[in-house]
Structure 1
């Protein structure tokens, strides 16, 4: 792990078509390359084709590949900049395990993995009272926690649970 300057995160709302409207709060998990990375159109199209088997809608452009299932409010995207993103419905039970599992899934997309990735997390929309890390949270709008530390892919895999717990603590902190 190494500490770094905050990196630019492209959030779910900027990736998906405007008509995408989640039914409830979604957790967003992002892995942003700590050094510039680039995926070309052929790589993005391969990801799109792979994701199309798991999701109801999939697409790609020069900027990235994405797929989502409206019925389940979950999805995944890879940007040409190397950022890997996923989102899923917020549920308090086993949230750290679910975030840790998503970190693994983002690493396992069949694309070259950058040497160092910085995780970020968000919750959007937040319109009712929910529990995050044992705190009741009531906040309109969204919560976005940017990058702070970068990890090697091996470190992300090995310590995914601890990384997930740290991300969730940071997500809950501004609301306590």
Structure 2
């Protein structure tokens, strides 16, 4: 479970230290803010949305949580969160602990995560600033420091980002792989 301050509380589905690929869409502008009363039912909607978009495995336990600042649905290996300010994040564990899995299929994974976030039936901000990262799974749930994160360096209207999702994720994926390789040296 995630506490009100965003810290991850121990749970049987927690996978500590496992590398996760994460996509964040940070709001820019006035629109997209959610009322607190919307967050509790949203956590169940996120679970359904994640199942429908292939983020979750039917065979794995699925948990939902909400606070006065966010709504989440997650499993040991993946999750989706929407904050009250309109920020959206989705993540998935890398198979085999990362390594070659990051290089081999980073773009399709990023594209799937970003597409799922863009398909949420929620108010959208005027623009979003996308970023992607390779993070420890327990840290992404707690919204803690990232081990390697790259940003697009520009903002997009949601409509423009939907139309360019493949190109944006291809660029962000290439930059992420480059950043990870630099850190490994």
* TM-score higher than 0.5: yes
Aligned to 1:66: 72
* Pair 1:26-2:50 in alignment: no
Question: Are 2:152 and 2:172, in contact at CA under 8 Å, matched by a contact in 1?
Answer: no
Question: Are 1:107 and 1:113, in contact at CA under 8 Å, matched by a contact in 2?
Answer: no
Counterpart Cα distance in 2 of 1:161 and 1:16: 32
Counterpart Cα distance in 1 of 2:111 and 2:47: 23
The TM-score, its normalising length taken from structure 1, stands at 0.73
Residues 74, 65 of structure 1: alpha-carbon distance in 2 compared, 3 angstrom cutoff: same
* 1:173 CA drift (Å): 2.9
Counterpart Cα distance in 2 of 1:108 and 1:115: 16
Superimposed CA distance per residue, residues 116-167 of structure 1 (whole angstroms, 9 cap, x where no aligned partner): 11101111139xxxxxxxxxxxxxx821224521111121111111100111
* 1:97 CA drift (Å): 1.7
Aligned to 2:8: 17
Residues 61, 146 of structure 1: alpha-carbon distance in 2 compared, 3 angstrom cutoff: same
Counterpart Cα distance in 1 of 2:65 and 2:151: 26
- Which of 34, 37, 62 aligns to 1:39? It is 34
Specify every segment of 5 or more residues in structure 1 that has no aligned partner in the other structure, as ranges: 1-13, 127-140
Counterpart Cα distance in 2 of 1:147 and 1:69: 28
Aligned to 1:162: 167
Specify every segment of 5 or more residues in structure 2 that has no aligned partner in the other structure, as ranges: 57-61, 95-100, 138-145
Aligned to 2:92: 88
The answer to which structure has the higher helix fraction is 2
Residues 96, 107 of structure 1: alpha-carbon distance in 2 compared, 3 angstrom cutoff: same
- Which of 80, 97, 117 aligns to 1:76? It is 80
The answer to which structure has the higher strand fraction is 1
How many corresponding residue pairs? 147
Counterpart Cα distance in 2 of 1:118 and 1:76: 17
Residues 46, 21 of structure 1: alpha-carbon distance in 2 compared, 3 angstrom cutoff: same
Aligned to 2:59: none
1:94 is paired with a residue of what secondary structure? helix
